[in-house]
Chain A
Amino acid sequence: MTHDQDILTRRRFFREGLWGAGLAGLGAAAGLSIARNNRDNMVWQIDPYKCIACGNCATYCVLEESAVKCVQCYALCGYCDLCTGYLVPEPTALDTSAENQLCPTGAIKRTFVEDPYYEYTIDEPLCNGCGKCVKGCLAFGNGSLYLQVRHDRCVNCNQCAIAAACPSQAFKRVPATQPYLLKTAEH
């Protein structure tokens, strides 16, 4: 190493200046993020009032088994015998037979409560997020069945592939501490 390096050449000054500018720039970036102060991680969720149950949630998720599942808002459910989210549009009978069920994976369980009410629950491991039941419930029922991203399954991609493909842009980022947009009875 020669002592020339100690002499402040124009080039060296320029370089030092740029270095300082680079560090300042990064500092500004860091400062901006601290000023916005988002301590929470952001996760993805579906706004159930925008969702049109198009079926993309089942196919666009990067996981083999979509992280989007149907959920039931029991307080909104009508507990109807003729559930338009459970049964096909023209059922031959109001029962649990395969030919009358709308769900392609048999994920909705129908249990008798008291006359004439039936409880409908979703068996999550079976649900594939296709939204057929949601469409039926929304069109002719109370809209108590709706799709939500399940955060015990979602890997929280920076760009959610389903969000990019959603025709009604129903996906939004929500704080990880409040990761659900659930329907309530006071809708």
Chain B
Amino acid sequence: MMRVFSLTVFAAVLLIPSLNAFGELRFPPPEFESGYEFPQTTDPASQSVAYEYLDAAVLVVALLLASYLILKRRSRRAIFGLMIFSLLYFGSWRKGCICPIGAIQNMTLTVFDSGYAIPISAAIFFVAPLVAALFWGRVFCGAVCPLGAIQDAVLIHPIKVPRWLESALRLMAYTYLGAGVLFAATGAAFIICRYDPFIGFFRLSGNWNVLILGTSLLLIGLFVGRPYCRFLCPYGILLRHLSVLSKRRVTITPTECIKCRLCEDACPFGAINEPTEDWPEGEYRIAKKRLAFFLVLLPILVGAAGWAGYALKGPLARMHPSVRAAERVYLEETGQVEGTTDVSDAFRATGRPAEDLYAEAAQLHERFSLGGALLGGFLGLVLGGQFLALSVRRRRTEYEADPASCLACGRCYQYCPKEHERLKRSEKAVAGT
């Protein structure tokens, strides 16, 4: 047995000198005498692209239907039904990917990387809900977004988040948006997808981080309404700003507000604005000074934050795998760390000189210094803008759904007596009385 073995090995050794060039095969493929035929490597096809277009079509139809149900029919039940359908279709069936939130990154990459082109179906996912927001407000959030649907579904006992806290918490969403765009534009990572909290539930599998993040958000969501939507969703920021401009939007009352105050606690998401009262006399002078102060502060904030973002180009750039590889190789070459990692081994196997990699990393640093400055400036602008928005006096005479924050869920309709009047009228019309 061992003799056969060593003879076989010896034969293999004899085979070795008969090698051809390197870059070709060590063991030349055999020529079979028994009529054996080489099987082919199988290549099972991926899902047909038609499914992607189907998804885009379903999205558009759902948006149209949602706007009808939210603005015309004004039926919470119908909205809830559409929301559950969206959860099942876009969430469980299509596994939550690709979604408009992630599509921000694809669109950004298309703009900044000429080698990548966003698939048309994904572009529809990005553009359609924003167009709908321009016309009808955040109807996407109300009945179509699967992430919103899953949070809405678990909301059992809403408790109110203090209004003054909301503006501060919302800054997380702005940061997420800015960072997401920066890292997508530089080709570093799609962090919006990486930290998508609910994808694990749609796929019924995921790594620890995603499951823990998602479970925590859902547990919070049992009591705090739609925490991701309100305080984390980067797409929500885009929707907010477009929804403010919308042609038609959610109104609590179908006709006019009689200020009965019955809808004050209707919104679990804190999106109902009360009418404002006149301030005492001295307050206006203070408010004017405050406004002037924040106006001056705004450019300072933008400049300071922009400079900070510029200065952080090193850590920001580290999100990019090439920069991480360059740092690792550099540390090894200069003897500051012992041993090698898979990354540095893989790099050395390519035969590129390390200087090439350092040059690539230096270039990325340049991109991140500009990008970091822009991100910092953006965050400074947002902060300054928030200060200003909180210093400006608004005049409201009615109870209204905040145009930016209203998630179009339709819960507030049945709190309004005018709505009940409308329902009775339509019932009578149906009954033919």
Interfacial residues, chain A to chain B (CB-CB below 8 A) = 15, 18-19, 22-23, 26, 29-30, 32-34, 36-43, 50, 52, 54, 56, 60, 62-64, 71-82, 93-94, 113-114, 116-117, 119, 121, 140-142, 150-152, 154-159, 161, 164, 167-169, 173, 176-177, 179-180, 182, 185, 187
CB distance from B324 to the nearest CB of A (A): 10
Smallest beta-carbon distance A59→chain B, Å: 9
Q: A155-B203, A169-B321 are in contact. Are A76 and B25 (CB under 8 A)?
A: yes
**Complex contact B34–A29 (CB within 8 A):** no
Q: How far is the CA of A19 from the CA of B127 in the complex (A)?
A: 15
Is the beta-carbon distance between A167 and B102 smaller than 8 angstroms? no
Q: How far is the CB of A136 from chain B (nearest CB, A)?
A: 12
Tell me if B25 and A182 are in contact (CB < 8 A): no
Q: Is the CB of A38 within 8 A of B117?
A: yes
Given contacts A76-B29, A179-B45, contact A41 B119 (CB under 8 A): yes
B105 at the A/B interface (Cβ < 8 Å)?
Answer: yes
B245 — which chain A residues lie within 8 A by C-beta? 15, 18-19, 22
Chain A residues near B333: list those with CB within 8 A. none
10 A-B Cβ contacts within 8 A? A23-B131, A29-B107, A32-B107, A41-B52, A54-B346, A76-B29, A117-B30, A152-B45, A158-B97, A158-B98
Decide if B206 is an interface residue (CB 8 Å cutoff): yes
Given A26-B134, A30-B127, A94:B194 Cβ within 8 A: no
Q: Give the complex CA separation of A152 and B117 in angstroms.
A: 24
A41 touches B49 (CB 8 A): yes
Q: Are A26 and B29 in contact (CB under 8 A)?
A: no
A64, B207: Cα distance in complex, Å: 9
Q: Knowing A39-B120, A168-B347 touch, does A94 contact B5 (C-beta < 8 A)?
A: yes
Q: Which residues of B have CB within 8 Å of A182?
A: 41, 43
User: Top 6 nearest A-B pairs by Cβ distance?
Assistant: A78-B27, A151-B46, A168-B346, A36-B117, A33-B123, A159-B190
Kindly name the residue among A19, A54, A117, A155 whose own CB sees the greatest number of chain B CB atoms within 10 A. A155
Do A54 and B116 contact each other (CB < 8 Å), given the known contacts A36-B110, A74-B39, A158-B97?
no
Query: Which residues from B are CB-within-8-Å of A154?
Result: 46
* A63 x B203 contact (CB < 8 A): yes
Selected contact of A71 from candidates B26, B42, B105, B127, CB within 8 Å:
B42
How far apart are the CA atoms of A185 and B28 in the complex, in Å?
11
Q: Which of B79-87, B276-284, B337-345, B416-424 faces chain A?
A: B337-345
Question: B26, B29, B110: which contacts A32 (Cβ < 8 A)?
Answer: B110
Residue in contact with B38 in the complex, picked from A62, A74, A158, CB distance below 8 Å: A74
A78, B28: Cβ atoms closer than 8 Å: yes
Besides A26-B130, A39-B119, A176-B46, 16 more A-B contacts (Cβ < 8 Å) are: A23-B131, A32-B111, A33-B122, A33-B123, A38-B117, A39-B120, A76-B25, A78-B27, A93-B1, A142-B27, A152-B45, A158-B105, A164-B189, A182-B41, A182-B43, A185-B29
**A72-B242 in contact (CB<8A):** no
Q: Is B11 an interface residue (CB 8 A)?
A: yes
Which residues of chain B have C-beta atoms less than 8 A from A79's C-beta? 29-30
Contact between B205 and A38, CB atoms less than 8 A apart: no
Which residues on A sit within 8 Å (CB–CB) of B345?
52, 167
**Which of A18, A29, A157, A169 counts the most chain B CB atoms within 10 A?**
A157
- How long is the Cα–Cα vector from A93 to B5 in the complex, in angstroms? 7
Q: Tell me how many residues of B have a C-beta within 8 Å of chain A.
A: 78
Q: Are A33 and B193 neighbours in the complex by a CB distance under 8 Å? A: no
* Contact (Cβ within 8 A) A64 B49: no
Chain B interfacial positions (CB closer than 8 Å to A): 1, 5, 8-9, 11-12, 24-30, 32-34, 36, 38-47, 49, 52, 95, 97-98, 102-103, 105-107, 110-111, 116-123, 126-127, 130-131, 134, 189-190, 193-194, 199-200, 203, 205-207, 210, 242, 245-247, 321-322, 325, 341-343, 345-347, 349-350
Residues of B within 8 A of A37 (CB): 117, 120
Minimal beta-carbon separation of B378 from chain A (angstroms): 16
> Given contacts A62-B207, A180-B43, is CB(A75)–CB(B29) below 8 Å?
yes
Q: Which residue of A lies closest to B130 (CB)?
A: A26
Given A22-B134, A168-B349: A74 touches B41 (CB 8 Å cut-off): yes
Q: Is the CB of B107 within 8 A of A33?
A: yes
How far is A168 from B351 in the complex, measured between Cα atoms in Å? 12
Contact of B41 among A42, A62, A72, A140 (CB under 8 A): A72
Query: Does the CB pair B342–A52 fall under 8 Å?
Result: yes
A59 to B328, CA, bound (A): 22
A114 to chain B, nearest CB (A): 5
Residue of B nearest to A169 (CB): B321
Partner of A173, one of B12, B27, B97, B116: B116
Which residue of chain B lies nearest to A18 when distances are taken between CB atoms in the complex? B245
CB of B231, distance to nearest CB on chain A (Å) = 22
Give the distance in Å from the alpha carbon of A38 to the alpha carbon of B114 in the complex. 12
Closest Cβ of chain B to A31, distance in Å, is 10
Given A62-B206, A71-B41, do A176 and B49 touch, yes or no (CB 8 Å)? yes
| A21 nearest CB across to chain B (Å) | 9
Q: Which of B27, B322, B349 lies at the interface centre, i.e. has the most chain A CB atoms within 10 A of its CB?
A: B27
* CA gap between A51 and B325 in the complex, in Å: 15
User: Nearest-CB distance from B397 to chain A (Å)?
Assistant: 12
Query: Is the beta-carbon distance between B46 and A156 smaller than 8 angstroms?
Result: yes
For the complex formed, measure the closest distance between the CB of B35 and the CB atoms of chain A, giving whole angstroms: 9
Instruction: Name the residue of chain B whose CB is nearest to the CB of A37.
Output: B117
Separation in Å of the A95 CB from the closest CB of chain B? 10
A82 partner residues in chain B, CB cutoff 8 A: 8-9, 12
